Amino acid sequence: MTDPMRPLGLSLWQLIAFRPMFKAGGRLFVDVAQNLASPAGRAALLVAMGQHDPLIKDALETIIGRGNFSTSDLPPAPPSPPPIEADPAIVQDLIQASQTALEALRQNIQSRSGSDLLDFILDDIQQLKKRMLHPKNMSAIMAGINASSWINGKMKEWLGENNVADALSQSAPNNVTSEMGLGLLHVTDVIRPYPEVIDYLQHTKDDDLLAGLLRLEGGKEVRAAFDAYLQKYGMRCAGEIDITRTRWSERPGILVPLILSNLKNQELNAGHRKFEQGRQEAAQKEQDLLDRLSLLPDGAEKAKETKRMVAILRDFIGYREYPKYSIVCHLFAYKQALLKEAERLVQAGVISAKEDIYYFTFEELRTSNLDPRLIGKRKAEYERYESLTPPRVITSDGEIIQGKYKHENLPARALAGLAVSSGIAEGRARVIFNLEDAEITEGDILVTTFTDPSWTPSFVSIKGLVTEVGGLMTHGAVIAREYGLPAVVGVEHATRLIKDGQWIRVNGTAGYIEILEKIT
C-alpha cells in the first residue's frame, strides 16, 4: 500500500495492525529501531526482509554497517505456532468460525450509534485480532509458507531445481482471492448470451448500474449474478486497508472494464478450465518430483517426506489469503455503520457531507472531538501527500536510504527485481495505475506500482506480472503462483522505465525484466 490514506483510514488501521505503525506523509511506517538494536532481532529482520523486499534489506544493511546505534535486548519473541499436519478440515473450521463472527458483527452493529458504536467497533477489533493471533490460526497460515520453504530448499538440494513450490501451488483449494478472479469469469459467462446487457455495460456511466440492468433482456439473470458476486467480494477494492476507499459494492461499475476484458479475452467456462489445468499441472509436477526422488540414495524416504510436505502445502497455502479477507469484511461492516453515523452528524450540522468523517481520526470520532475547521486543512494535506513517493526506508532524521539488488550476470539493461513466481513470459506491457482504466488483452503483462487482492480479476487475462513493491508472500505473488504466471516484484520505478505498449520479457525464475524495445 504505497498510496496516502485519510486520517480515519490511518487511525483505524493503526488499531487493527499487529504491531505499532507510525504516520509520515499520509502513509504508515513500521519503526524497526528496536529490532536493529538487538543482534537477534537484527538477524531475524534481515532474513524476513530478504524474502519480503531485498531493497529494504540492503538499505538496512547500510544502516547496520555504520554501527552508530545503541544496543538493547528485544523482549522475548512469542513462541512459534505448533507444527500442523495436512488436514483440509482445519481450514474449513477456521473459515466457518470467521464467517460466524462476521455474521454476529453484522447483526449486532446495526443498532449501535454514537459513542456506543465506536466503542463496539473498538471491542470487535480486539476480538478480531485475538482470533487472528490464535495459535490454531497462526499455525494454519504458517503451515503453507513453511512447507513452501521446505520444498524449495530440499528440491534445490536434492534435485538442483529452483522454486519448485511455485508449480505445486497452482489451483490450491480455499484461496478466497484466486477464487474471486475465477468468480468474475462466471459473472462474465452469465452476461455473455445477452447483447443488450453487453451494449449497456459498454456505454453506461450510470452510478446506479445494477438497477438499470432490470430493464434489459437477461438483466434479471445478470443482476442476480452480480448480487451473488458482490455479496461475497463486494467489500474489496484497490487500497482496501483504507476504510475510506470506495468498495465494489458501493460502485459496481469499477468491475465493468474487467468484465468487458473477460468477454473479449476469455471463452465460456474459462474459469473452470483454468482452475482444472492448474490443478492437473500441480499434480503432474508432484508425480515428476516423486519419481525423480525415488531414484536417489534414500529415495523412498525422501519421496515420502516430500509427498507429506506437498500435502501440507496444498491444504494450507490457499488459506494464507483468508485472514486479510476476513479483516476487510469487518472493515466494510464498520464503514457502513460509520457512514450512517455520519448522516446523523450531517443532519445535526456538525459536518456538511458524510464523507467529511474521513478527515477525522477514529479517536476524535469516539470522543466527539470534532472540529469542522480541521476538515479543509486535512483535505489539503491529503492532496499534497498524493504527490509524494514514499521511500522504503527513512530514518528518524529524515534521511532516505536507498537499497540495491545484488544480482549477478544480469543481461545488459535488465531491470532487477525479486523473483516470486517461476517461468519466463514475453508480451506487451500494460502500465496501469487504476483498475478502472484497465484495457487488458489476453497475453499482456501487467506493470503497476503494487497489487492487492482487488487486482486479482485482471490476472485471468495476463501472461505475467511486474510490480514496484511486493514480496514472496504478498497477495500478487501468491496469486501469480496459483495462476501459473511468471512474476517479478520490487522493480524500482518499473512504471516509469517500462512504457505502455513495449514488448518485454519477464523472468520470474531469475528475477529480472528485459525491455525488448518493440512497441505494439
State the Cα–Cα distance between residues 490 and 416, nearest whole angstrom: 8
**What does the alpha-carbon distance between residue 389 and residue 2 come to, in Å, rounded to a whole number?**
8
Alpha-carbon gap, residue 188 to 206, rounded angstroms = 19
SS3 content of the chain, % helix, strand, coil (to 5): 55, 10, 35
- Which residues are within 8 A (CB) of 377 and not within 5 positions of it... i.e. 6 or more apart? none
Contacts of 134 (CB under 8 A, 6+ apart): none
| Conformational region of residue 480, where left means phi above 0, alpha means psi within -120 to 50, and beta covers everything else | alpha
330 carries an active-site annotation: no
d(CA 29, CA 34): 14
Helix (H) or strand (E) holding 344: helix 322-347
Contacts of 253 (CB under 8 A, 6+ apart): 204, 205, 206, 207, 209, 436
Residue 363 amino acid letter: E
Three cell numbers written together for 185? 469469469
Whether the CB-CB separation of 248 and 234 falls below 8 Å is answered with yes
Residues 188 and 261: their CA atoms lie apart, in Å, by 9
| DSSP characters over 195-245 | HHHHHHHHH---S-HHHHHTTSTTHHHHHHHHHHHHHHHTT--TTTTSTTS
| Assigned C-alpha cell, 25 | 506523509
Other C-beta atoms closer than 10 Å to the C-beta of 80 total 11
CA distances from 58 to 33, 34, 421, 468, 497 (A): 16, 18, 22, 16, 22
- Residue 466's DSSP bridge partners are 447, 488
Active site positions, annotated: 475
